[in-house]
Amino acid sequence: MKKFFIQTFGCQMNVYDSQRIINMLESYGMQQTDKIQDADIIILNTCAVREKATNKVFSALGRIKQSKKPTALFGIIGCVAREAGETAFKRIPDLNFVLGPQSYHKLPLILSNPDAKLLNIDLGGLEKFDELPQVEKSPALAYIPIQEGCNHCCTYCIVPYTRGRELSRPFKDVVKDVIQAANTGAVEICFLGQNVNGYKYIDSDGKVYKLSDLIKEAAKQDNIKRIRFTSSYPTEMTDDLINMFKTEPKLLPFLNMPIQSGSMSVLKRMNRPYDLNQYIDIVDKLKAARPDIQISSDFIVGFPGETEDDFEDTMKIAEKIKYINSYSFKYSPRPHTAAALMEDQIPEAMKKQRLAKLDSYLNELQRQFNESCIGKTLECLCEGLDKTGKHLIYRTPYMQQCVVNKPAEITWPILARIDITEANKASLRGTFSK
């Protein structure tokens, strides 16, 4: 039996894409392996969002070349494939395939013609969603992509280049996926998209469907108990969507809505044309709709021209919103982006210093929020056993990890009410509520 090895870098969309590839290769009778030496085909599904991520891919390819079977095929798919294109073959001449994020369903071509060099980095639209086999049994948490690409053109971001213009999947196709997931084991649905709340599909009768319509459809499924979506652009949080947090109890009280910077002048140069008051208004409206809602964000520090005052404005907005579950990154100049050509690039040491300061504050906010959960009872979704096999890992509605002692019984609830008893900055501990 032929074996394949696949490693995934980057975002949830890549994790989803890899799962579809796994299904496809298994449908060809191949078996997944975690040992490169055993594999007949080796696939890296890659992320190009920061330079470090891209470099990691090429160093991994160098290592794979040394350890793989001489006959094994190897290559890259995803965003680095799209970014590097033909130059990937120049850097690693033995490489067999380079397939962009919208053409990885062409992978079987290399299986039928292993002597060829397969290059396809076209932005081919959404056909991959139709061409790949569906999962027969859904995991309890089903990720469902609803749109791909992005029209916002933030000046730092390579995604509009790697994933193309924004495309929304047909409403009925997404609903079909939701029903299929609900009927085969899903308890939670997470709608995915680079700009998920920009979802907009117009059918042949001119009827417009938005993310709020998808949430309503998912909520109709009795088996689905929790719904969320990621990642949202602030000014696309329209009132119909905000209102969902009031009317739809299955929608979790947690929203990832990256602000990136708290400085108006940096936001302007990032080409994120909203002002802070607008962002704060949206958060206030969300809180009015769902008082227990919590917000998470991504931040970029050291964007070209960022002054100490600009950075302090980012610290201030973090303090004002009291973000939880957030990520911060050093700005990384990327090809095909406007910011890479800007003057006033910030020295690495300063970026590092600012990142450390913001990171430690975000951790402190997380610790405070985690501690505020002690004594509460939260409904949590089971993710499985931890490495020791002695504990179960649950996920709270706020995406915190909650560790529970494994009960003596052989089975345990997928969805459980858990009394939170302890907290630290990284996770919670709890017991099943009686």
Cβ–Cβ under 8 Å, residues 201 and 208:
yes
Q: Which does 298 bind (CB under 5 to 8 A by kind): ligand 5AD, ligand SF4, none?
A: ligand 5AD
Query: What is the CB neighbour count within 10 angstroms for residue 239?
Result: 11
| Closer of 233 and 311 to ligand SF4 (Cβ) | 233
Contact between 324 and ligand SF4 per CB under 6 A? no
Cα-only R_g, the chain: 22
Q: Which does 50 bind (CB under 5 to 8 A by kind): ligand SF4, ligand 5AD, none?
A: ligand 5AD
Stretch that binds ligand SF4, among 47-55, 167-175, 271-279, 292-300 (CB under 6 A): 47-55
Query: What is the CB neighbour count within 10 angstroms for residue 2?
Result: 14
Contacts of 332 (CB under 8 A, 6+ apart): 49, 50, 51, 52
Q: Which does 79 bind (CB under 5 to 8 A by kind): ligand SF4, ligand 5AD, none?
A: ligand SF4
Residue type at 334?
R
| Closer of 52 and 417 to ligand SF4 (Cβ) | 52
- List of residues contacting ligand 5AD (CB under 6 A): 49-50, 156-157, 258, 260, 298, 300, 329, 331-332, 334
CA dist 245 and 290 (Å) reads 6
CA dist 107 and 21 (Å) reads 9
Reading the block at residue 359, the tokens are 């990171």
Contact between 11 and ligand SF4 per CB under 6 A? yes
Query: What is the CB neighbour count within 10 angstroms for residue 238?
Result: 14
Quick note: the x/- pattern for ligand SF4 over 191-230, rule CB under 6 A, is: ---x------------------------------------
Q: Which does 48 bind (CB under 5 to 8 A by kind): ligand 5AD, ligand SF4, none?
A: ligand SF4
Minimum gap (Å) between residue 96 Cβ and ligand 5AD = 29
Q: Which does 198 bind (CB under 5 to 8 A by kind): ligand SF4, ligand 5AD, none?
A: none
Among 4, 5, 6, 10, binds ligand SF4 (CB under 6 A): 10
| Closer of 80 and 300 to ligand 5AD (Cβ) | 300
CA dist 115 and 109 (Å) reads 11
CA dist 71 and 96 (Å) reads 11
Quick note: the x/- pattern for ligand SF4 over 49-78, rule CB under 6 A, is: x----------------------------x
Minimum gap (Å) between residue 101 Cβ and ligand SF4 = 6
Minimum gap (Å) between residue 306 Cβ and ligand 5AD = 12
Cβ–Cβ under 8 Å, residues 186 and 139:
yes
Size of the site for ligand SF4 (CB under 6 A): 14
Query: What is the CB neighbour count within 10 angstroms for residue 199?
Result: 24
CA dist 196 and 290 (Å) reads 20
Taking alpha carbons only, the member of 433, 324, 302, 328 closest to residue 372 is: 324
Q: Which does 195 bind (CB under 5 to 8 A by kind): ligand SF4, ligand 5AD, none?
A: none
Quick note: the x/- pattern for ligand SF4 over 136-175, rule CB under 6 A, is: ----------------------xx--xx------------
CA dist 262 and 273 (Å) reads 13
Residue type at 176?
K
Stretch that binds ligand SF4, among 44-52, 87-95, 122-130, 285-293 (CB under 6 A): 44-52
In the beta sheet, which residues pair with residue 295?
A: 255
Minimum gap (Å) between residue 301 Cβ and ligand 5AD = 9
Minimum gap (Å) between residue 60 Cβ and ligand SF4 = 15
In the beta sheet, which residues pair with residue 362?
A: none
Taking alpha carbons only, the member of 208, 260, 202 closest to residue 234 is: 260
| Closer of 14 and 296 to ligand SF4 (Cβ) | 14
| Closer of 52 and 406 to ligand SF4 (Cβ) | 52
Residue tagged 């962002």 (tokens): 279
Q: Quickly list DSSP for 357-384.
A: HHHHHHHHHHHHHHHHTTT-EEEEEEEE
For 319-368, what is the HEC assignment? HHHCCCCCEEEECCCCCCCCHHHCCCCCCHHHHHHHHHHHHHHHHHHHHH
Contacts of 159 (CB under 8 A, 6+ apart): 49, 79, 149, 150, 194
| Closer of 6 and 47 to ligand SF4 (Cβ) | 47
| Closer of 43 and 251 to ligand SF4 (Cβ) | 43
Among 4, 5, 6, 14, binds ligand SF4 (CB under 6 A): 14
Q: Which does 329 bind (CB under 5 to 8 A by kind): ligand SF4, ligand 5AD, none?
A: ligand 5AD
CA dist 197 and 147 (Å) reads 9
- Where along the sequence are the contacts to ligand SF4 (CB under 6 A)? 10-11, 13-14, 47-49, 78-79, 158-159, 162-163, 194
